[in-house]
Amino acid sequence: MIEYSISIFLVVPIYTLIHFYARKIHRNEYWVYLIVLIISIINTLLLAFNVELPIGLNWIQNGNITFAMFTIVMFGGVLKKKTTPYKTVLQVRRELAITGFILLIPHAVLRLDLALGGYNFTGIIAAIIMVPLVITSFTFIRKK
């Protein structure tokens, strides 16, 4: 239960980072994607080599950071218009969604054996639905 509540508590520090660095994140979005992709690859390799991370460092593998990011993305749409939080979140909403999806990869790899074993395959369905949404989130794809 504690593991799931971490996701909710991560919303505050992630929003704080966004609040102070939204413009930099938006201007350097491809660098952010590259850094997050490298972090995601490292986490996936750690999973492949069965390296267990201590509690508190496995937030990416457990999907806590991704859940917190998607929570901010979803609440961005219901915030009161013309307020600072609304403007801040909407400025980097696309970047948060793409970053959250990239950080979801290690979690998907970790849970893939459970899903293929029939335990809970709804995550695979959600990931499949998210792929075209992420692809069409890139500006250069939408322009074509």
- How would residue 23 be classed by pLDDT, with cut points 50, 70 and 90? very high
Residues 6+ apart with CB under 8 A from 44: 105, 106, 109
DSSP state of 77: T
Q: Count of CB atoms within 10 A of residue 76's CB? A: 21
What pLDDT does 3 receive? 61
DSSP-based three-state secondary structure for 118: coil
pLDDT of residue 52: 81
Chain segment 99-111, per-residue pLDDT in tens: 999 998 888 888 7
| Residue 95 confidence (pLDDT) | 93
Task: State the chain's mean pLDDT as an integer.
Answer: 86
CA 110 – CA 96 distance, rounded (Å): 22
Q: Which domain holds residue 132?
A: 2-143
pLDDT digits (tens, 9 = 90+) for 65-116: 988 999 999 988 898 999 999 999 999 999 999 999 999 888 888 877 777 7
Domain total in the chain: 1
pLDDT at residue number 19: 94
